[in-house]
Amino acid sequence: MKKQVLNANEFDSYYQRYIDKLHDKTELIQGFIDGKTQMISFLKSIPEIKLNFSYQPEKWSIKEILQHLIDTERIFIYRCFRIARKDTTALAGYDQDVYIKPSNADKKSLDDLLNEFIINRNNSIALLQSLTTDDLCFIGNANDGKMSARAAAFIIIGHDIWHIEVIKEKYL
């Protein structure tokens, strides 16, 4: 499945910023596999002293960003799953800021967070491998907007790239 086949009617325009981070030839499952490798390598390259750093008091630390990526992948792969199974029930949005404090991300080790990321990513890959092209093309309703199953999945990859760029620009 290639990103180039996504149509603008498959996702709300808010998510275009993440879709735009993907190469036109990005294949869905390989994008998840490559993204896992890149994320692990990138995070392991960050000095430990920087992991709890935030560049402003109200901004998240790098560990909190990683937890946010894990949580967001859980939510979006759940959306992908529900939509791919032809569930037309409107799926609720979520307030990302509410999730961070109770996650206690800054108290977790990088190894623990990476283990959580890897397990979560492997589960996402397994789900995507089980879906057909027709499943992935089905369009449902998430956060009061149209979303195809494959758009929900592609958004995860672009969202990761977005946050890696933010870390490089503002944290390192």
**Which pLDDT belongs to residue 8?**
87
What are the Cα distances from residue 38, in Å, to 31, 34, 41, 66, 94? 10, 6, 5, 13, 27
| Cα within 13 Å of Cα(149), Cβ side | 24
Distance CA 153, CA 148 (A): 9
What backbone torsions phi and psi does residue 12 show, to the nearest 5 degrees?
A: -65, 145
Whole-number average pLDDT of the chain: 95
pLDDT of 96 above 70: yes
The hierarchical CATH code for the domain 3-170 is 1.20.120.450
Q: 97-143 pLDDT, tens per residue? A: 999 999 999 999 999 999 999 999 999 999 999 999 999 999 999 99
Distance CA 73, CA 78 (A): 8
What tokens were used for 164? 């890696």
What integer is the mean pLDDT of 77-104? 96
**Which pLDDT belongs to residue 6?**
87
Q: Domain residues of the chain, as ranges?
A: 3-170
